[in-house]
Structure 1
């Protein structure tokens, strides 16, 4: 079995640039016009398949990506720089976890979070 995460988007190139920068992935050549595969630069990891769709996102994602990071503030700033939008104004804190909910350029939610046991940085 192979895990592939599919992300709907309206612009394959824009989304490929955003997610490759955020995840440290590379974009495979666009051959179909509807799909674009993103794969890890180094080492193992799931493929992210971008799927161009005509409709806009209208409701909360039922599945989303969590980016677990050692430096919460730096990583939040890093993903906002290429176009992510913070949905939470203040960090959410629960059971020792600290996170922000963000959205990619198409409005798909994802989280940047710091695990328990590390000093939260806002």
Structure 2
């Protein structure tokens, strides 16, 4: 079977500028390309995956069907920093050696930050 890799992750939202500002600061990514209605952010070292941000007219109405898990060394510091950038804390989970905080970006897209074993 062929080996596949995730090249890019897409997120939708209403305010493209807010998404660019939040996710660039949150991940340390830089703007690679911007056009009408979308933008691509990339890791400065060109590691994958890239982040594809797409402006859509409809609001988020329920939980995302996919979300990112962002591994960090210091969960508390990372969550505090992300909240300062505009994220909202939704809840915290602990499962054995796995622990994480579920957050929402300024557009309501849910993602997790923590240690995943």
Work out the CA distance in 2 between the residues paired with 1:15 and 1:115.
25
Q: Which residue of 2 aligns with 1:119?
A: none
Is residue 95 of structure 2 the alignment partner of residue 94 of structure 1? yes
> What SS is found at the alignment partner of 2:24?
helix
User: For each residue in 1:4-56, what CA deviation from the matched residue of structure 2 results, as whole angstroms up to 9, or x when unmatched?
Assistant: 1110011111100000001110113422x111111111241211110000000
> Would you tell me which structure has more strand in proportion to its own residues?
2
Residues 57-109 of structure 1, C-alpha deviations (whole Å, 9 max, x = no match): 01111110011111111111111111000011xx3101211111000001000
Gaps of 5+ in 1: 117-122
Q: Whole-Å Cα distance in 2 between the matches of residues 105 and 62 of structure 1? A: 17
> Pairwise CA RMSD of aligned residues?
1.4
Q: How many residues align?
A: 113
Stretches of 4+ aligned residues off by more than 6 angstroms: none
- Note if 1:7 corresponds to 2:8: no
Of 59, 63, 74, which residue of structure 2 is paired with 1:60? 63
Runs (5+) with no aligned partner, structure 2: none
